[in-house]
Structure 1
C-alpha cells in the first residue's frame, strides 16, 4: 500500500475527511480507501489481537488504531554532554465498514517538546505510517480480502493476486500467526457471515455492466437531476421504468442490473449519488442517481463495492 499511498498524501486543509469527521490537528494526513468490506466484529478483533506484539493496538466502535513508537537521539553516546533522546510516534486509524479507510496523521515535531534537532522527522513518520499500513494489509484478514478483490476485478489467479499484494506492500513486516481464528460467538448467536450472498431480484438483468456500451448504444435521452440541475445521459432504449438502460457518461450505472442495495451511495466519498424512485422496475424501485457526476474523483470505491457489478467509472477526457 505504500506504493499506492505515494499519491494519496496531502496537506490538511479542512477539519473533515472523506468519511465522517476526524480531528485533524496535525501537519499532514494520509488517506487511502480499500474497496473491500470489513464489518464482522470477530474479524476486527482478530486484527487487533494479531498485531498486539508489533504495534500498540486499540479499537473503539468501528475503528482500529495501530500506533508505532520509535526513538531519536542527537548523538550516539548517551553519556556525552548535550545528549538528547525523544520518543516519537505515528498512528494509523482503520475505519471499517462497506469499504475500509486507512488514515494517518503526522503531527508537528514541536508536539514532542524541544525536538527541532530531530532530522528528517516528517519523512520518517511518513515511512513508519506506511509501514504500519503495509503490515496490516499483508498479515491480517485484509490480505485475504484484497486477494479476493484482485482475483475478482482483475481476473487473475490467486497466486498472481498474492504477488501483486506483496508488490503493493514493500514496507510490510512479517508477523507470524497474525490471523488468529475469531472467537466463537456467544451460545445461541450465529456469527456474521464473512461475505453476504448477493440476492438478485426476480427480473433483474445479470451483471456485469458491458464496459463497451458507449460503442454499442446510442444516447436515447437525457435526464435532469432536480437537486443539481445536471443533465445525465441515458444510453440504450428506455421503456418507462420497466427497462431503464445505462445512465451516466462518466459515472455509469446499468439500472437494469442495479438492485438498489445502496452500497455505492455509502462508499462514495464526495456524494455523487442520491436516491431516485423508479416504481415498477423489476430489479429495484429505487436507484442511485449520479446527480453530481462531475464531482467524481475516480476513486472507484462505488465500482468495487457494487455486488452485481452494475457500475463502470470512466475518466474524463
Structure 2
C-alpha cells in the first residue's frame, strides 16, 4: 500500500469520497481506495481489536480510526539545558462499506505544541501513516480480501497474489492473531443454541441492576473522577471498598455486580469509562468509572454488552 500511495499523496482543499466530501483544510492528504468490501460487523470489530497492542484503535459508525503516537527530542539528554520533547501523532481513517477508503491527513506540527524544531516532521508523519496502512492491510481480514481480488481480477495464482501484497506493504509490522477467528457455525433449524453462563466471582452480587434504584436509594456521597473532575453521584450506603453501591446518575453501574470484564469500555464510542481500582471489592478490584458521564450519547452499547447486566443508561429529564 505504501508503494501504491507513493504517487497518490496530494495537497488539496477537498476530495470526494463515496459518502461526500472529506474536510481536508488544505493539509497534506494520503487517500487510497481498496476495491474490496468490508461491511460485516464481526470483521470490522476484528480490525479494531486486532491492533490494540500497537495502535490506538477507535470506532464510530462505519469508520475505524487507527492512531500512532511517537515522541521527538531535540537532544538525547533530558537534563541538558534547552532540552525539548513533544508527542506527535498520525491517524488513519478507514471508511468501510462496499469499498474501503484509507485516508490520512498531515496537520501542521503547531497543532501539537511548540514543535517547529522537529526535523523532517512531515516526512516522518507520512512514513508512520503508511506504516499503519501497510500493517493493517498485511495482517487483517483486508489481506484475505485483497488476495481474493488479485486472484480473481488479475488472474494471479495464490502465491503470486501473496507476493504482490507483500510488495505493496513494505512498511508492515507483523501482528500475530490480528485476523478474526472463524465464526461459529449456525445451529441446524430447530436446534436450540446452548447458552454460556458468565462465571462470576464468589462474593459478587447477582445481576441485573435494580432499574428503580433512584426511587429506593439516596445519593450518599459524590466522587470526583481523577481525569475529568466530574462529580459522580453514589447511590446507597458505601462501606469502604467492600460494598460500593450504584455509581452514576445517567450512566449507572452497580459496582457490587460488576465483574470488570471490560466490555463496556470497549463498546463505548465516546470513551465515557476509564479503569479505577477498588482493592478488596469481592466482585472485582477494578471498575469502569464513568469519568466522562456528561459525554454519553445514550446509545446503550455498554448496557447491551454487559454480561452480568450491571449497567443502566437513563437519559436526562
TM-score, with length taken from structure 1: 0.56
Q: SS state of the match for residue 119, structure 2?
A: coil
Alignment of 1:161-176 (within 5 A): 161-176=161-176
Alpha-carbon separation, structure 1, partners of 2:19 and 2:170:
27
Q: CA deviation at 1:157?
A: 1.0
Q: SS state of the match for residue 135, structure 1?
A: helix
Partner of 1:140: 140
Change (3 A) 1:21 1:7: same
Alignment of 1:239-278 (within 5 A): none
- 2:54 paired with 1:39: no
1:231-265 CA deviation, whole Å, 9 max, x = no partner?
Answer: xxxxxxxxxxxxxxxxxxxxxxxxxxxxxxxxxxx
RMSD: 2.2
Alpha-carbon separation, structure 2, partners of 1:30 and 1:138:
18
Alpha-carbon separation, structure 2, partners of 1:150 and 1:130:
21
Q: Does the CA-based 8 Å contact 2:14-2:23 persist in structure 1?
A: no
Partner of 1:69: 69
Partner of 1:9: 9
Q: CA deviation at 1:13?
A: 1.6
Structure 1 runs (4+) deviating above 3 angstroms are 15-19, 182-188
Q: Does the CA-based 8 Å contact 2:43-2:180 persist in structure 1?
A: no
Q: SS state of the match for residue 80, structure 1?
A: coil
Change (3 A) 1:66 1:183: farther
Q: Does the CA-based 8 Å contact 1:25-1:107 persist in structure 2?
A: no
Q: CA deviation at 1:24?
A: 2.1
1:242-296 CA deviation, whole Å, 9 max, x = no partner?
Answer: xxxxxxxxxxxxxxxxxxxxxxxxxxxxxxxxxxxxxxxxxxxxxxxxxxxxxxx
Q: Which has the higher contact order (CA 8 A, sep 6+)?
A: 1
Q: Does the CA-based 8 Å contact 1:42-1:182 persist in structure 2?
A: no
Partner of 1:154: 154
Where structure 1 has 5 or more consecutive residues not aligned to the other structure, the ranges are 189-317
Q: Does the CA-based 8 Å contact 2:72-2:86 persist in structure 1?
A: yes
Partner of 1:52: 52
Q: Does the CA-based 8 Å contact 1:36-1:100 persist in structure 2?
A: yes
Alpha-carbon separation, structure 1, partners of 2:26 and 2:88:
14
Alpha-carbon separation, structure 2, partners of 1:15 and 1:137:
23
Q: CA deviation at 1:186?
A: 10
Alpha-carbon separation, structure 2, partners of 1:163 and 1:177:
20
- 2:124 paired with 1:124: yes
Where structure 2 has 5 or more consecutive residues not aligned to the other structure, the ranges are 189-317
1:201-257 CA deviation, whole Å, 9 max, x = no partner?
Answer: xxxxxxxxxxxxxxxxxxxxxxxxxxxxxxxxxxxxxxxxxxxxxxxxxxxxxxxxx
Alpha-carbon separation, structure 1, partners of 2:106 and 2:18:
17
Q: Does the CA-based 8 Å contact 1:45-1:182 persist in structure 2?
A: no
Partner of 1:97: 97
1:111-165 CA deviation, whole Å, 9 max, x = no partner?
Answer: 1111100000000000000000000100000000000000011111111100000
1:69-123 CA deviation, whole Å, 9 max, x = no partner?
Answer: 0000000111100000000000000001111000001000111111100000000
Q: CA deviation at 1:181?
A: 1.7
Q: Does the CA-based 8 Å contact 1:39-1:96 persist in structure 2?
A: yes
1:2-51 CA deviation, whole Å, 9 max, x = no partner?
Answer: 00001111002237556423232462111000000001011000000001
Alpha-carbon separation, structure 1, partners of 2:12 and 2:27:
7
- 2:22 paired with 1:22: yes
Alpha-carbon separation, structure 1, partners of 2:18 and 2:167:
26
